[in-house]
Amino acid sequence: MQLLYENLEQTVAVILFGIGFTILLLQRNLIRKIIGLNIMDTAIYLFLASMGYISGRKAPIVVDGVTEVSAYINPIPAGLVLTGIVVSVSFTGILLALTVRLYRRYNTLDIDVIALLAKGEDA
Amino acid sequence: MSKRRSDWQTRPQARIRKWFQQGFTALDDEIINQISQQTIQQPEVSQMMEAQREAMDTRRYERSLALERLERHELQAWVRTRGRKAIGRVYVALALAMAVLMIFFLLETVAHMPRFGDPNAPVTNEVTERYITRGVEETGAVNIVAGMILDYRAFDTLGESTVLFIAASAVLILLRIDRRKDGTPVQELIAAESDDRHYEPRADRILQGSVMVLTPIILLFGIYIILNGHLSPGGGFSGGAIISAGLILYLDAFGFDKAGRFFTYKTFAWVSFFSLSFYALAKAYSFYMGANGLPSGIPLGTPGAILSGGLIMPLNIAVGMVVSCTMYIFYALFRKGGL
Amino acid sequence: MSLVHNFPFFSILLCMVAGIFSSMLKKEAAKWVTLSVSLGVLVLSAFTLHLTLGLDDNYPFMMGHVPAPWGNEIRIGRLEALMATGVSAVLFLSLIAGFYHAPAFVSEQKTNLYCIMVDLALAAVLVLIYTNDLFTVYVFIEIMTIASCALVVVRQNGHTLVAITRYMIMHLFGSGLLLLGIAMLYGITGHLLMEPLGIAVRQLVLTGQYNGPLTVVIALITAGLAIKSAMFPFHGWAPDTYAFAPPLSSAILSGIISKAYIFVMIKFFYRVVGMELIISQQVHQFLFICGVAGMIIASVLAISQRDIRRMIAYSSVAQIGYVYMGLGMGNTAGVEAAVFQMLVHATVKSVLFLSTYELINVSGDRKRFRYLHGAGYRNVPAGIVFTFAAMSMVGIPFTGGFIVKLNLAISGMAFGGWVRALVLIALAMSTLLNAVYFLHTVVSIYRRPTQELVYPAVDPMPRYAAAAMLASLLLIVYLGVGSEPILQVIETGLKTFS
């Protein structure tokens, strides 16, 4: 427990990941599934971002020409999170577009019902 | 003849299931009898009987099709009600168990990860050191993160812009409603437009007035964020998102007719085409020069000045344009399937 | 550094730029651009292969002006060049054989968007083959996922939409696991490039530090890639997606794209964690069991299908099982056979999907077996191609499939006890099951059609499509007859991997 408390950010991130995962598996509503996916992704970004932080140091923007390692936090996770966010925005866009298509066709958001209706189409 | 008939009614699974249910019905017995008798009669069949049997076959085939349909219907009903509940419960239990197990393992892992905020964690190594100590002189950007993503690890960022582009294309495939060849709209487009007109805000004085004040400020702020990407927090992605927010706000207040005067589908296509190809070709040039050990000849400027950082500012502008156009087109496509 | 050294980079750039330019092109122009891009990549990769065969080791290519631990880089060796050549050759032939029926699935105004997807999918596959950086792997895997989603969903009926929703959910879950794994690995080593990562991981194993997280990382990344490549228990998304997609897209998806994930996994095993650690953590046994189970169960499921496309989709899952069985043996011979199987399966499966489409097309667009009777006479080239490809799937000598099974059996013989027994039993059973369902299909396409069915007249398939399919057949036979040099390249290439 003590160890977990020291890594509080990462602990929270991992629990959020699990919550997102559970939403993804259990919800039948497509919009909720997408929200679950987003929670999962955001949890990973929190995890990544927490990795780069170093206590007492500043954001990696060089001020007054100070270029010492001990002055700034790690810049790499920030860049990775930036990339990851763009990727998840793209995915959310596509999934929502799919949802719009499915809803226009079947007038429901329940994935199981949609699957059944699709199966019945060619009978 | 009879050997060829292995349709839905007479195949083994169906017969076994029948037997399980309540034994064969009179109809089934009759069908089976007919088949076995036909096999015996096979050697001497007249033309007449052949035709009769064909007709019978067809009838039986049709009946089996109807039954099949009925069965599928029943199955669906079962799945919808009791079956769904039963399967659902097992599924929920399994999923929960899996999630709890996963959280447990991940927590166990987190407990053994490097401590939060530890200056001696493994991530603080020679890579970080070079980015911080020599980043400014090598990239010319004061913002080390911008220097890292647009110079040191620029290939990832090129991929990232491509992700955005390909996502926009995928949403176009999914949602764009095309006109017919002669330019007339298809039914779906008419429906989408009327739907949109229904929900579109009518000329609202308060909304339009505040948007008139807000949009220029938002756009200006977005441009500031993009242009200062190498000097302060921000850059192409965040600035582009802000600009697109301003554009979407304008669109919402004034409607597609007015927004269409300066932003059409063609604008989107050309802007994203030019910025992305500029991005790809500029980066290709610098990759090629770098890998072959040639000087790239791009001046880095004085760190901290607005014209510094070599390619970083033009790249940020390109990324900003792509992002703002993509977000705007996402919105327009979701609203009515096109601009 | 000579000009040829730049060719892999040029091929990646060519695909990306072609994808961006295709957004402004008209339908026919975009098709021609895509075709010539795949041909260009084939030529460039062939030159690269020729170059790397003359080198002893692989060589790095900096993506930028700073070397490895700081900047991105790609690393080119003979195995990578071989894979790139194979992939682009298969894509080129599939495009010739499959592009002409695009109007049946894609609306005219969206054809250029379809071409963008093909271009960028090829770019992503090339990057995954060449790259040496784990985060680049993540970004380009996402590009590949989106591209394949769009490739399927150009045909907008209920089935594809439902299938692709499943596909996206599974794949995004896989991406999540992969990214979490990469993040953790970065957290305990501080590197993203594969070589420094490999050194750091070996250091960690020696000192015994962070060994728990390391195991979890391996599990996460392996699971993520396994989900994405349709390994057996995670194959749920695959059959529907492959079956309902347009045939060209199915060929690209199951032939080319699923291989890139496995190639990344092999790279991860060899370069980052090292095969010794994989074996000591028992990861390979998990893959082995899944592979064997997939070979048998997916084949049984394939037999029970009544739609020919779903049958082929399930057989695709079974064939991925072969790859994982080879990978799971953990010895070099097994991995070699797995890589060879990737090449063979890419060729065979793409041509199978395309010829199946032709057979269905001449049967009035009906997919059930009983309507396919006589399809082999109505379209003779497609029938021949299907028969030969099926023979390769079963593993008749002189085809690629035979060499794969032979090599898998040989590498299984290196073990004792239950592994050897399991390999042999799995191979025998899978061959038997393959024979059952492919024989059934081949017999039914050459059977006299039932009288009551009327088959509408369709345009015969163009000569060039038939020629491309026959060329793929030649490739299959070449893989079966002239496999020795290719196996040699794979063997020496794997040595430069670690």
B14 — pLDDT class (breaks 50, 70, 90): low
Lowest mean pLDDT across B35-49, C6-20, C31-45, C474-488: B35-49
The residue type found at C473 is L
Question: Once rounded to an integer, what is the mean pLDDT over residues C370-392?
Answer: 88
Per the listing, tokens 């029943």 go with B74
Domain count, chain A: 1
Burial tier of C184 (Cβ tally within 10 Å: 0-12, 13-18, 19+):
buried
Tell me whether B280 touches chain C (CB under 8 Å). yes
The residue type found at C438 is F
CA gap C449, C373 in Å, rounded: 5
CB contact under 8 A, B155 and C146: no
Name every residue whose Cβ is closer than 8 Å to that of residue C71 and which is 6 or more positions away in sequence. Answer: B152, B153, B290, C62, C63, C64, C65
Domain count, chain C: 1
- pLDDT at B42 > cutoff 50: no
Q: Which residues of A touch C152 (CB under 8 A)?
A: none
Tell me whether C56 touches chain B (CB under 8 Å). no
CA gap C234, C243 in Å, rounded: 17
Give the pLDDT of residue B84: 63
- pLDDT at B27 > cutoff 60: no
Give domain limits for chain B: 12-109, 142-336
Q: Which residues of B touch C62 (CB under 8 A)?
A: 287, 290-291
CB contact under 8 A, B133 and A68: yes
Per the listing, tokens 């015996």 go with B40
Per the listing, tokens 């430069």 go with C496
Pair A79, B145: CB distance under 8 Å:
yes
Q: Go through B160-187 and write b for each residue having 16 or more CB atoms within 10 A of its CB, e for each that does not.
A: bbbbbbbbbbbbbbbbbbeeeeeeeeee
- The distance of Cα C81 from the centroid of its chain, to the nearest Å, equals 15
Q: Which residues of C touch B174 (CB under 8 A)?
A: 150, 153, 156
C185 — pLDDT class (breaks 50, 70, 90): very high
Burial tier of A51 (Cβ tally within 10 Å: 0-12, 13-18, 19+):
buried
Give the pLDDT of residue B139: 82
Q: Which of B74, B96, B98, B132 to mutate to test the interface with A (most CBs of A within 10 A)?
A: B132
Pair B18, B31: CB distance under 8 Å:
no
The residue type found at C296 is I
Question: Once rounded to an integer, what is the mean pLDDT over residues B264-285?
Answer: 91
Question: Once rounded to an integer, what is the mean pLDDT over residues B33-46?
Answer: 51
Average pLDDT score over chain C: 90
Q: Which residues of C touch A69 (CB under 8 A)?
A: none
What is the nearest CA distance from B220 to chain C, expressed in angstroms?
A: 28
* A33 occurs within a structural domain: yes
Q: Which residues of C touch A101 (CB under 8 A)?
A: 156, 161
* A62 occurs within a structural domain: no
Residue C469 host element (H or E)? helix C463-481
**Residues 146-175 (B) with a CB less than 8 A from some CB of C:** 151-156, 158-160, 162-163, 165-167, 169-170, 172-174
Helix axes C211-228 and C158-189, enclosed angle (nearest 10): 160
- pLDDT at C159 > cutoff 50: yes
CA gap B33, B46 in Å, rounded: 20
CB-CB: which of B166, B181, B296 is closest to C120?
B166
Pair C144, C87: CB distance under 8 Å:
no
Q: Which of B10, B149, B169 to mutate to test the interface with C (most CBs of C within 10 A)?
A: B169
Give the pLDDT of residue B30: 57
> What is the SS3 assignment for C367?
coil
pLDDT tens-digit map of C323-338 = 999 999 888 889 999 9
**Residues 114-153 (C) with a CB less than 8 A from some CB of A:** 135, 139, 142, 146, 149, 153
More confident call, B119 vs C265: C265
Q: Which residues of C touch B180 (CB under 8 A)?
A: none
Question: Once rounded to an integer, what is the mean pLDDT over residues C437-465?
Answer: 82
* A22 occurs within a structural domain: yes
> What is the SS3 assignment for C60?
strand
CA gap B42, B60 in Å, rounded: 19
CA gap B274, B165 in Å, rounded: 12
CB contact under 8 A, C135 and B122: no
Pair C61, C5: CB distance under 8 Å:
yes
Provide the 10 A C-beta neighbour count for residue A32.
14
> What is the SS3 assignment for C460?
coil
CB contact under 8 A, C69 and B126: yes
Average pLDDT score over chain B: 80
Range of the structural domain that residue C424 is part of: 283-498
CA gap B245, B254 in Å, rounded: 14
What is the nearest CA distance from A102 to chain B, expressed in angstroms?
A: 10
Name every residue whose Cβ is closer than 8 Å to that of residue C133 and which is 6 or more positions away in sequence. Answer: B155, B156, C72, C73, C192, C193, C194
CA gap C497, B154 in Å, rounded: 25
Give the pLDDT of residue A87: 92
- pLDDT at C235 > cutoff 70: yes
Range of the structural domain that residue A108 is part of: 2-54+70-121
Give the pLDDT of residue A7: 83
Pair B155, C61: CB distance under 8 Å:
no
Question: Once rounded to an integer, what is the mean pLDDT over residues B55-60?
Answer: 76
CA gap A49, A72 in Å, rounded: 14
Q: Which residues of A touch C158 (CB under 8 A)?
A: 105-106, 114, 117-118, 121
CB-CB: which of A48, A80, A98 is closest to C161?
A98
Tell me whether C443 touches chain B (CB under 8 Å). no
Question: Once rounded to an integer, what is the mean pLDDT over residues B40-48?
Answer: 50
ipTM of the complex: 0.94
3-state secondary structure chain B: CCCCCCCCCCCHHHHHHHHHHCCCCHHHHHHHHHHHHHHHHCCCCCHHHHHHHHHHHHHHHHHHHHHHHHHHHHHHHHHHHHHHHHHHHHHHHHHHHHHHHHHHHHHHHHHCCCCCECCCCCCCCHHHHHHHHHHHHHHCCCEHHHHHHHHHCHHHHHHHHHHHHHHHHHHHHHHCCCCCCCCCCCHHHHHHHHHHHHHCCCCCHHHHHHHHHHHHHHHHHHHHHHHCCCCCCCCHHHHHHHHHHHHHHHHHHHHHHHHCCCCCHHHHHHHHHHHHHHHHHHHHHHHHHHHCCCCCCCCCCCCCCCCCCCCHHHHHHHHHHHHHHHHHHHHHHHHHCCC
pLDDT tens-digit map of A11-41 = 999 999 999 988 888 888 899 999 999 999 9
What is the nearest CA distance from C174 to chain A, expressed in angstroms?
A: 11
Name every residue whose Cβ is closer than 8 Å to that of residue B83 and which is 6 or more positions away in sequence. Answer: none
pLDDT tens-digit map of C392-429 = 999 888 888 899 999 999 998 888 788 888 899 999 99
B74 — pLDDT class (breaks 50, 70, 90): low
The residue type found at B173 is I
Provide the 10 A C-beta neighbour count for residue B322.
26
Q: Which residues of C touch B158 (CB under 8 A)?
A: 16
CA gap C304, C441 in Å, rounded: 12
* C109 occurs within a structural domain: no
Name every residue whose Cβ is closer than 8 Å to that of residue B294 and which is 6 or more positions away in sequence. Answer: B288
Pair B76, A116: CB distance under 8 Å:
yes
**Residues 65-104 (C) with a CB less than 8 A from some CB of B:** 65-66, 69-72
What does the DSSP 8-state code read for residue C127?
Answer: H
What is the nearest CA distance from B233 to chain C, expressed in angstroms?
A: 22
Pair C78, C48: CB distance under 8 Å:
no
* C343 occurs within a structural domain: yes
Give the pLDDT of residue C332: 87
The DSSP annotation for chain A comes to: -HHHHHTHHHHHHHHHHHHHHHHHHH--BHHHHHHHHHHHHHHHHHHHHHHH-BTT-B-SB--TT---GGGB--SHHHHHHHHHHHHHHHHHHHHHHHHHHHHHHHS--BHHHHHHHHHHHT-
pLDDT tens-digit map of A30-69 = 999 999 999 999 999 999 988 888 888 888 888 877 778 7
CB contact under 8 A, A115 and C162: yes
Lowest mean pLDDT across B151-160, C358-367, C379-388: C358-367
CA gap C349, C325 in Å, rounded: 18
Give residue C157's region: left, alpha or beta (phi > 0; psi -120 to 50): beta
**Cα dist. C319→B200, C129, C229 in Å?**
53, 20, 11
Tell me whether C180 touches chain A (CB under 8 Å). yes
CB-CB: which of A24, A77, A102 is closest to C165?
A102
Lowest mean pLDDT across B299-313, C49-63, C474-488: B299-313
Name every residue whose Cβ is closer than 8 Å to that of residue C443 and which is 6 or more positions away in sequence. Answer: none
CB contact under 8 A, B132 and A71: yes
State what percent of residues in chain C have pLDDT above 90: 55
Give the pLDDT of residue B298: 79
Q: Extract the tokens encoding B198.
A: 């229904």
Q: Which residue of B has its CA nearest to A114?
A: B80
CA gap C93, C141 in Å, rounded: 24
More confident call, C374 vs C97: C97
Q: Extract the tokens encoding C256.
A: 């080319």
Give the pLDDT of residue B80: 62
Within C131-237, where are the H helices?
134-153, 158-189, 194-207, 211-228
CB contact under 8 A, C161 and A101: yes
- pLDDT at C367 > cutoff 90: no
Lowest mean pLDDT across A46-55, C116-125, C465-474: A46-55
CATH at A49:
1.10.287.3510
Question: Once rounded to an integer, what is the mean pLDDT over residues C428-439?
Answer: 91
